[in-house]
A and B are shown apart, each in its own frame.
Chain A
Amino acid sequence: MSAVAESAGAQPLHLGRVRWIGFRTIVLREYQRIIRIWTQTILPSAVTQALYFAIFGSLLGGRVGPMGGFGYMEYIAPGLIMMAVNINSYSNVVSSFYGAKWGKHVEELLVSPLPSWLIVSGYVTGGLVRGLLVGIAVTGVSLLFTHLHVRHPLIIVGAVVLTSMSFALGGFLNALFAKNFDQVNIVPTFVLTPLNYFGGVFYSVALLPHWAQAISYFNPILYMINAFRYGFLGVSDVNVAVAFGIMGGAAVALFVGAIVLMERGYGIRE
């Protein structure tokens, strides 16, 4: 413990390089975490989706009959994929960032020269990576049960990326506000799952009475699922342009909110 090889001198700070490498490091660390605990991050969604297809699709779906002009399993497949993507994007960020807060290793980032917007972007990209990995896994499971035709690939990619980012940002905000692990689990269990179920995963809102339809249109997940479904089936309960406006607006608003709270040190600085 005697020799120090390098002397400490004043070196110019290349902010762009620091930020790019810092961003990559956050994303890589998130990716490694997702892969290290894949039985907690990837596998459960694949198993759950297989159960959904087996029970709702095969057993009950045969009695439901066609929906929106498609077989029931084909109709619900995009919604199930989107539900897995949004819940996993949210869960990844809320658990990872709150875990870092709880274990205090968030301080590794807070003392570094990385700005708040970049830290948020790194975690959100980590959430996006998990959302996409789970989405691919769940799509693979879906193909065991039904056919999926890609009609509008750009709409599929746009919808899944914007939805995943919005939910990852929601998870980030949840982690900032959370003071214990209970508060990390409340939103996915009591908010996201019901909103997904009432967001048209299993049905077309056209089947609902008018008052229920009116309420459903206040549910942002309805727009996300329908835009995604439109990319596969070419049918939607909502205007796809409006859906993209809502998804983009939500992503921007949540991103700005997360940065403002980070800058104020809410939940992370004394």
Chain B
Amino acid sequence: MNALSVRGLTKTYKNGVQALKGIDLEVEQGDFFALLGPNGAGKTTLIGIVTSLVTKSGGEAAVFGHDIDRELEAAKACIGVVPQELNFNMFESPETIVVNQAGFYGIARPEARRRAERYLKQLQLWDKRDKAARGLSGGMKRRLMIARALMHEPRLLILDEPTAGVDIEIRRSMWEFLREINRRGTTIILTTHYLEEAETLCRNIAIIDGGRIVERDRMSSLLRRLHTETFVLNANAPLAAAPRLEGYPVRLIDEHTLEVEVSNEQNLNDLFGRLSQLGIEVVSMRNKVNRLEEIFMRLVDKGVAA
């Protein structure tokens, strides 16, 4: 059974903006799915329709087989959502917020309090459980929204930019936390502007642009389609000009830095051999951009992904 099934979904706002132009999408149960797209592509509108915060103009959507037109309550009971914008009462404490949220899903207070302790501890918020939420740091507020979304232990967790503004250390621990949730059976749909995050976590991906799905594939298949990668090499000695390397487009960035394009048919040993013949010793190397970012930019035909 699909966790999410969307057919011909359209949305036109009152101001005439057509945010979705006939979206078809299926997300399998148990998947860790990336939904990517530039700003204004329609990601948040799509999530809004599935979670009933936005009224659709046409089409169908079902969550674990529950059609949102005919079985809305059953569909919503399956979903936990972490929205892009903070949407909890800043004057309430984290514990009150998550316990009340559990109540809205029919979980009695004693059980809600047990779950609150578990998730607030797992998300490192237990020490702050009695403080007003407005006093939490940005990263804590994001984690609070994740804890809140998990209180009814949803089968489908939708995360809209969950790590925006979160420092790298916390972000990585959140990744591990989400992986663990996914391993235990929760389907996860993730939108993010950190493409490294999507590449690291997700098995399947859809890219949405201009209200349409422009790509839908397994992450590994999509990355294999990338024909070339750009590497940045740091040389130990200063270079006067870019070396001539047949078959490898090379640019000199500064006197110690080269940018080299390497296709799938070529290999790095060959490249290093040629550089060595020219007396150039490479001391370090990195990808110019994340591989998914490169594909993403090509697909959405834009220079900047964010």
- Secondary structure at the A interface, as helix, strand, loop or mixed, is loop
Given A1-B174, A4-B184, A104-B85, is A270 in contact with B55 using a C-beta cutoff of 8 Å? yes
Chain B 69-104 per-residue mask, 1 if CB under 8 angstroms from chain A, else 0? 000111011010101011111100000100011011
Closest chain A residue to B123, Cβ basis:
A1
Assign chain B's interface to a size class.
Answer: 35 or more
**Interface pair A10/B64, CB less than 8 Å apart:** yes
Of the candidates B51, B89, B153, B184, the one whose C-beta lies within 8 Å of that of A103 is B89
Closest chain B residue to A22, Cβ basis:
B104
Chain A residues with CB below 8 A from B292, complex form:
none
Chain A CB within 8 A of B248 CB: no
Of the candidates A6, A22, A32, A270, the one whose C-beta lies within 8 Å of that of B53 is A270
A156 to B64, CA, bound (A): 50
- Report the interface size for chain A: residues with CB under 8 A from the other chain: 41
* Docked complex: A1-51 residues within 8 A CB-CB of B: 1-10, 13-15, 17-22, 24-26, 28-29, 32
**Interface pair A21/B55, CB less than 8 Å apart:** no
A7 to B184, CA, bound (A): 5
Chain A residues with CB below 8 A from B73, complex form:
13, 15, 18, 113-115
Of the candidates A1, A3, A6, A32, the one whose C-beta lies within 8 Å of that of B153 is A6
- Secondary structure at the B interface, as helix, strand, loop or mixed, is loop
**Interface pair A112/B76, CB less than 8 Å apart:** yes
Chain A residues with CB below 8 A from B181, complex form:
4, 8
Chain B CB within 8 A of A108 CB: yes
A115 to B52, CA, bound (A): 12
A1 to B153, CA, bound (A): 16
Of the candidates B74, B77, B153, the one whose C-beta lies within 8 Å of that of A8 is B153
Chain A CB within 8 A of B224 CB: no
A113 to B123, CA, bound (A): 25
Chain A residues with CB below 8 A from B122, complex form:
1-4
Chain A 77-119 per-residue mask, 1 if CB under 8 angstroms from chain B, else 0? 0000000000000000000000010011101111111110000
A29 to B11, CA, bound (A): 34
Mark the stretch among B105-113, B206-214, B294-302 that contacts chain A: B105-113
Closest chain B residue to A19, Cβ basis:
B106
**Interface pair A1/B173, CB less than 8 Å apart:** yes
**Interface pair B177/A1, CB less than 8 Å apart:** yes
Chain A residues with CB below 8 A from B64, complex form:
10
Chain A CB within 8 A of B196 CB: no
Chain B CB within 8 A of A265 CB: yes
Of the candidates A6, A21, A103, A110, the one whose C-beta lies within 8 Å of that of B106 is A21
A114 to B54, CA, bound (A): 16
Chain A CB within 8 A of B154 CB: yes
Chain A residues with CB below 8 A from B96, complex form:
32
Chain A CB within 8 A of B48 CB: yes
Chain B CB within 8 A of A149 CB: no
A91 to B106, CA, bound (A): 28
Chain B CB within 8 A of A210 CB: no
Given A10-B155, A113-B74, is A1 in contact with B176 using a C-beta cutoff of 8 Å? yes
Query: Contacts A22-B105, A113-B77, A115-B73 given; 10 further ones with Cβ under 8 A?
Result: A8-B153, A8-B154, A8-B155, A8-B185, A13-B73, A13-B74, A104-B87, A108-B148, A111-B52, A113-B74
B contact set with A: CB distance below 8 Å: 13, 48, 51-55, 64, 72-74, 76-77, 79, 81, 83, 85-90, 96, 100-101, 103-108, 118, 122-124, 148, 153-155, 173-174, 176-177, 180-181, 184-186
Give 12 A-B contacts (CB < 8 Å), ordered by A residue: A1-B177, A4-B180, A13-B74, A18-B105, A21-B108, A25-B104, A104-B86, A108-B88, A109-B104, A111-B51, A111-B76, A112-B105
